[in-house]
């Protein structure tokens, strides 16, 4: 997979997009219509479920932004990347690693792992 960085960057852009119409456009362009997301705290199915999940995270952490940590990598239909969530300009208090299955340039599924979560989150 030579597009690991592009896939991960578009994923981060989706999580940072606050405008619902633009977020839905990013989903339509980059995710399969029946895509699914799951991590230890939440899950979403299809564009509607994933959009609602992202809106919920943005509501809970309105001043936080996602950033890529390190360099995404992948092979075959799989992409792995790490991210941080926190206020701009400081080390992210929340960190994770996500694994994507990508077919024909579109995310089919994400399995997320939380690497660092403060007790207050």
| Per-residue pLDDT reduced to its tens digit, 31-74 | 999 999 999 999 999 999 999 999 999 999 999 999 999 999 99
CA distances from 121 to 56, 83, 118 (A): 14, 16, 6
Q: pLDDT band at residue 120, thresholds of 50, 70 and 90? A: confident
Question: What is the domain partition of the chain in residue ranges?
Answer: 4-116
Between 3.90.400.10, 3.30.1330.30, 3.40.50.1970, 3.10.450.50, what CATH number should domain 4-116 receive?
3.10.450.50
Burial 25-40 (b: 16+ CB within 10 A, else e): ebbeebbbeebbbeee
Query: Percent of the chain at pLDDT above 90?
Result: 93
Distance CA 89, CA 11 (A): 21
Residue 48: phi, psi to the nearest 5?
A: -65, -45
Mean pLDDT of 23-38: 97
User: In 3D, which of 109, 46, 34 has the Cα closest to residue 77?
Assistant: 109
16 pLDDT higher than 90:
yes
For position 119, what pLDDT does the model report?
Answer: 80
* pLDDT above 60: residue 2: no
For residue 121, name the pLDDT band (cuts at 50, 70, 90).
low
In tens, the pLDDT along 80-91 reads 999 999 999 899
What is the pLDDT, as a whole number, of residue 29?
97
User: Average pLDDT over the chain, rounded to whole?
Assistant: 95
């Amino acid at each position: 997979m030579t597009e690991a960085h592009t896939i991960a960057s578009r994923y981060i852009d989706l999580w940072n997009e606050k405008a619902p119409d633009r977020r839905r456009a990013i989903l339509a362009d980059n995710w399969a219509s029946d895509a699914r997301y799951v991590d230890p705290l939440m899950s979403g199915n299809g564009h509607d479920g994933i959009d609602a999940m992202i809106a919920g995270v943005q509501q809970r952490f309105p001043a936080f932004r996602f950033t890529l940590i390190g360099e995404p990598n992948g092979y075959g239909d799989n992409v792995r990347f790490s991210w941080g969530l926190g206020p701009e300009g400081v080390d992210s208090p929340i960190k994770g690693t996500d694994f994507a299955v990508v077919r024909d340039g579109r995310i089919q599924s994400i399995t997320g792992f939380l690497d660092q979560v403060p007790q207050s989150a």
